Amino acid sequence: MRRIAVAAAGAVAALGLAACGAPSESAGGDQEEALIVGATAVPAGEVLAFVRDELAADAGLDLRIQEYSDYNAPNAALAEGELDANLYQHEPFLDDYNANSGTDLVAVTPVYLPPLGLYSFTADSLDDLADGATVALPNDPTNEYRALLLLQEGGLITLAEGTEESSFSLSDIEDNPRDLEFQEIDAAQLPRSLEDVDAAVVNANYALEAGISANEDAILLEEFEGSPYVNVLAARSDNQDDPRISELAELLTSDEVAAFVEETYGGTIIPVADAS
């Protein structure tokens, strides 16, 4: 049986929380004001750190990074003006946040695709997943729907025809031939939940933080081609045309960043140039 090391997940989450409200060291630059960008630690924080350390100064950009360990705080901070931009979410999540919060955050540019994966301590393949197994799902609506689509792609469930992201529930599972049981869990806690459930659908950033490799450890992995879940650089409608944000968008979609992502994550994270 494969065992995936996740002991570091709790420590990483704690570090992420400690980083909230503490901007990273500046890269320097010629801009009068620093550009403060929120991110989850991995991969967004690491990608932004590469830009800050290797590219920002030459572009005259003073880039500072503020890390978060959950999925809602970076959008709230952006909407309230504590951040100038953020990088960590796909556009369906952003749209859902706007609809529920009355905000007007906008996607500036796509950056990379982090695939969703199904992981297990006890099953080495889908065939090994026992009847009646308990599967943990992310509890935010866009990623839970995405997780159900992944399980459907793997032949584990069938959703009722016409099921939509805006109004779905677990009762929309029309066919569940293995009688799987589902637990809805905060996305950040999913790697840790693998100790207690038979399998879990985990977002790529939290999998990476926990030392889980999508390419090596996933028993089911989201398809890249045509995915709407590419992570985007987001801003507010009132600052999306800020020249500093335009400069950051250009750097994030550069060949240098694509090469960094490919080398660092070995195909687990796909740069936007390769995901389209």
258-273 pLDDT per residue, tens: 999 999 998 789 998 7
DSSP structure class, residue 183 = E
Top CATH class of 117-221 equals alpha beta
Do the domains at 9-114+227-275 and 117-221 have one common CATH topology? yes
**What pLDDT, on a 0 to 100 scale, did the predictor assign at position 274?**
64
Third-level CATH fold of 9-114+227-275? D-Maltodextrin-Binding Protein; domain 2 (3.40.190)
Q: Measured at the alpha carbon of residue 257, what is the angle toward residues 251 and 260, in degrees to the nearest 5?
A: 160
| Residue whose tokens read 């779905």 | 168
- Asked whether the beta carbons of 118 and 219 are under 8 A apart, the reply is yes
d(CA 152, CA 133): 16
What is the C-alpha separation between 206 and 268, in angstroms, rounded? Answer: 12
pLDDT computed for residue 109 by the predictor: 98
State residue 117's pLDDT score: 96
Distance CA(110)–CA(91), nearest Å, equals 9
- What pLDDT digit, counting tens, does each position of 149-184 carry? 999 999 999 999 999 988 899 999 999 999 999 999
**Measured between alpha carbons, how far is 76 from 230 in angstroms, rounded to an integer?**
21
Domain boundaries, the chain: 9-114+227-275, 117-221
* pTM for this prediction: 0.78
Per-position DSSP letters for 138-164, written without gaps between them? E-SHHHHHHHHHHHHHTTS-EEPTT--
- Between CA 68 and CA 82 the distance in angstroms is 13
For residue 179, give both structure tokens: 């009688």
